[in-house]
Structure 1
Amino acid sequence: MFLRFSSKSNDTFLYPMDTKSLLKKVRKIEIKTRRLSDHVFGGEYHSTFKGRGMTFSEVRAYQFGDDVRSIDWNVTARYNEPFVKVFEEERELTMMLLVDISESTAFGTRETFKKDIITEIAATLAFSATQNNDKIGLMLFSDQIELYIPPKKGRTHVLRIIRELIEFEPSHKTTNLSKAFRNLIDMMKKKAIVFVMSDFLADDYEHTLKILGKKHDVTGIRIYDEREEELPNLGMVQMKDAETGKAVWVNTSSGSTRKAYTKHYRDRVDYFQRAFKLSGSGFMSTRVDENYVIKLLGYFKSR
């Protein structure tokens, strides 16, 4: 259960943005994340995620140090001097951004919500893929597939993805990671780079993740808020499950209550790490107030 403090001073109500405000926000995110992808992530992304194979490019005269296994014997015999085949990496890839937009991501106890960080990370990854001429697709999910944008190339396409990440309003509030994984397995027939961005406040997705991990290069990015780790001592507080809407009174002064809260959170984190590890997939976590740039770079380098 995801709990949110019920307090008028802390509640944030989201109203539909007018077109001018939306475009301004899209532009702001583009400037920030494109700079990151151009100067920080571009090279790391390219070296981390390899192409599907090698394709023949040309033949050239043999040079000292060339692998003798690459000698083209037909051309060598024709010109009576050694020539080698030159191959290039078949670079084009497809990146799928699988983004959780359930109600629990619209939470944050500082100035930034989890969904805001998810949007920035997704935009940074998308622009990094664009630098390498890769296709980018988007799947927004709750307990249903809320929106699917097929993979395409180009800046205009990435800007559309950013707009949807900012503006899209889900029709469902709860989360079903397993259903999202199953839909992606059915939709994507060729191997893709898949980034799953969520708070992962769910379970029962380990089996489906294993199937997804066998077919695609999967990375789970967990975004969380510090108040999800520990329950502060505030006395009797009314709390509400953001996804079900159920409200309960909780005695936060109770040590056993705070301990149970922390254990419940840690169990979810342990499940997330174990599920991705067993599926052979990569994973990382970043708190909303941490520098996700450093976390992403560390993850890329570790690969």
Structure 2
Amino acid sequence: MQTLAAQPGIRVNLAELIEMRHRVREVQLFSTAARRSPLIGLHHSKLRGRGVDFDQVRVYQAGDDVRTIDWRVTARTQEPHTKMFHEERERPIYIMVEQSQRLFFSTGLMFKSVLAAQAASLIGWAALGHNDRVGGLVFGDNEHHEIKPRRSKQSLLQLLSRLARANQALPGDPNAGRDSFGLALRRAREILRPGSLAVIICDERTLNDSSEQQLALLARHCDVLLLPLSDPLDHALPAAGLLRFAESGAKLELDTHNADLRRAYHEQAQARQARWERLALKLRVPLLALDTQREMVDQLRDHLNGSRASK
């Protein structure tokens, strides 16, 4: 497919996703020797199936996993102490990013499909800089493109190239009807080994009973990071009078002056958000919801600063 120039906010190309590497330093996604990320639990708390070596004992800090407390040192000093470990290098990080027709929409700063691509790119560059193995799955209405996790720039570039091509191919086939999100989650469960990190970037509206079950199964063996995407119009209808919609021969009319209609629409959106929040609490995984109104990096920074403040 011919590579198109980036259309800011509407489509992205590979060059734009590559440039995202320069913004990694603006968000502390992964911990370094000098700085602790609010997402440190994704690398230090569960340690499921990962190779780790004991490093040192230090005074307990808010947010440390209680399972790593050194009770002997704590009893001797009468002050809680935590065991520190060196993590296994080259951890597999699998970025699952949606590029479907339902994401080709926005009333804000950018299309949801662009927001998804930017978030995937930033996380990919951050993971590569953290010496982790990076791969992923770009899924949409008609096809999936998978890149196996490897600790190489070439692997990430392959993922970003697939992502850019899928983004430029939107809006795609309006008649596609299969559960692309469910298929993507099943594929992740098949290939990811325990201790991997699965980053889920998808439309907020894509969560259903089947995909929720798949996420629960995936979280048994892998760490999970949830990034559901939304637009202001997903949450509230404007009082704009009679609105007409048409797609593939189907037509719909909504009288947005109807207060009951607007209230029911808003309540459905609140229920979707609450479902994501309940799922994150149940699985004990981070939830970083993003919307099309603000820059993606600013939103991630606010999420992480909020996580730090709450600890």
- How would you bin the TM-score normalised by the shorter chain? 0.7 to 0.9
Q: State the alpha-carbon separation in 1 of the partners of residues 107 and 302 from structure 2.
A: 26
SS in structure 1 at match of 2:253: strand
Instruction: Return the offset for 1:102.
Output: 2.1
SS at 2:220 equivalent: helix
Q: Where does structure 1 lack aligned partners over 5 or more consecutive residues?
A: 1-15, 58-66, 70-86
Change (3 A) 1:111 1:291: closer
| CA apart distance, 1:39 | 5.0
Residue number in structure 2 paired with 1:12 = none
Deviations 1:264-301 (A, max 9, x none): 22111111221222122221212112233233234445
1:29 aligns with 2:17: yes
Match of 1:110 among 94, 102, 108: 108
Q: Is the 8 A contact 1:103 1:174 kept in 2?
A: no
The residue type paired with residue 258 of structure 2 is: S
The 8 Å contact of residues 100 and 175 in structure 1, kept in 2 or not, is answered as: no
1:267/1:20 CA distance change after superposition, 3 Å: closer
- Map of 1:46-57 to 2, 5 A cutoff? 47=37, 48=40, 49-50=42-43, 52-55=50-53
Partner of 2:122: 124
The count of residues paired between Structure 1 and Structure 2 equals 257
Aligned equivalents of 1:144, 1:184: Cα separation in 2: 18
Q: What is the rounded CA distance, in whole Å, between the counterparts of 2:193 and 2:223 in structure 1?
A: 13
Give the distance between the partners of 1:276 and 1:88, measured in 2 at CA.
27
2:221, 2:150 → 1: CA distance? 20
| Helix, strand or coil at the partner of 2:23 | helix
**Contact 1:103–1:173 (CA<8 Å) still a contact in 2?**
no
Q: Match of 2:91, as an amino acid?
A: L
In the alignment, the residues of structure 2 paired with residue 20 and residue 106 of structure 1 have an alpha-carbon distance, to the nearest angstrom, of 16
Q: Output the amino acid matched with 1:218.
A: V
Q: Which amino acid aligns with 2:43?
A: K
Q: What residue ranges of structure 2 are gaps of 5+ in the alignment?
A: 7-11, 45-49, 56-69, 73-84
Number of the residue aligned with 1:277: 281
Does residue 137 in structure 1 map to residue 107 in structure 2? no
After superposition, the C-alpha distances for 1:100-150 in whole angstroms (9 at most, x for unaligned) are: 222111111235100101111111100011112211111122467622111
Aligned counterpart, 2:298: 294
Q: Which residue of 2 aligns with 1:182?
A: 186
Q: Which residue of structure 2 lines up, in the alignment, with residue 238 of structure 1? A: 244
Q: Contact (CA 8 Å) 1:145, 1:180: kept in 2 or not?
A: no
Aligned to 1:229: 235
Residue 159 (structure 2) aligned to one of 158, 161, 185: 161
Instruction: Give 2:78's aligned residue.
Output: none
Q: TM-score, normalised by structure 1?
A: 0.73
- Asked if the contact 1:137–1:150 (Cα under 8 Å) also holds between the matched residues in 2, the reply is yes
- Answering whether residue 267 of structure 2 is matched by residue 263 of structure 1, we say yes
Identity across matched positions, percent: 21
SS of the aligned residue for 1:129 comes to: helix
Rg bigger for which structure? Answer: 1
Partner of 1:64: none
TM-score by length of 2: 0.72
| Cα RMSD after superposing both structures | 3.1
Q: Does 2:3 align with 1:19?
A: yes
1:91 corresponds to: 89
